Amino acid sequence: MSIDSIPLWIAFLATLGLVLVALEIGIRVGKRRLLRGHGKLEVSSAMVGATMGLLAFMLAFTFSNAAARHETRKNLVVEEANAIDVAWLRAGFLTEPSRSRSRDLLRDYTILRLKAVSGEIDIADALHTSETIHEQIWALAQEAGQRDPGSFTIGLFIQSVNDVIDVSVRRVTVGLRYRVPPAIWVALYTLLMIGMLMMGAQIGLSGTRQFNIELALAVSFSVVLFTIVDLDRPTAGFTRVSQQAMIDLQRKLTAH
């Protein structure tokens, strides 16, 4: 099962549960050490501080990368809409029936991209169809270039088609393939569990418990990890990239 198939709310509750369980185990271990007279709170505090500092660094690093990719995806939506719009306009340099055929393909391509992002069609099917449309538009551009190899305007159209294909590759790469690596997730959750165990042991050694603070701590870490997971999912979650630029382009192309 893919990680993306796990609903976000389940990921949040699972993280919250793991943190609470780790805290509880640590507290019981700390209480046991306290009863046996082995508690050294000063050493425990230093170790907890070092572990939590390392965890904070890993969380900040991962969050920064996920947020940067999210911002890149936003920029690529606008860039792709502009590339398709320019290709549509420059298709007017072609003669019929290539002009109408190119514009029909670009219109269908825009609709396809929107349906893929909204989940109306499967991503794999959308990518396959996108590649087919790329090949068809490029064939029309190649045919026009062969008919009039010295035409500057045909060269502009060919360049715009190349830009559409290039932006598509970058959107797919950044959106679907550049993700938080599994090794990073393993490291994050391992550090989180170790940190919570050690913090729980420190609480147990202190001899006092404050359940509301423990719950707030667990929720805080779970929210941060939830946000990272949300940012790392390009087609699901609460922080989806706005497709307004593509929607406006679709309306424009459909009106024509």
Q: No. of H helices and E strands in the chain?
A: 8, 0
Spatial neighbors of 7 by CB under 8 A, at least 6 apart, are none
Residue pLDDT, tens place only, 56-68: 999 999 999 999 9
Quickly state the pLDDT bin for 82 (edges 50, 70, 90): very high
Spatial neighbors of 83 by CB under 8 A, at least 6 apart, are 160, 163, 164, 166, 167
> What is the DSSP secondary-structure string of 224-244?
HHHHHHHHH-TTSSSSPPP-H
| Top-confidence residue, 228 or 206 | 228
Q: Where are the domains of the chain?
A: 3-255
Dist CA 56 CA 81 (whole Å): 38
Rounded to two decimals, the pTM is 0.81
Most confident of 11-25, 174-188, 204-218: 11-25
User: How many other C-beta atoms are found inside a 10 Å radius of the C-beta of residue 86?
Assistant: 17
Residue pLDDT, tens place only, 215-245: 898 899 999 999 998 888 877 767 788 889 9
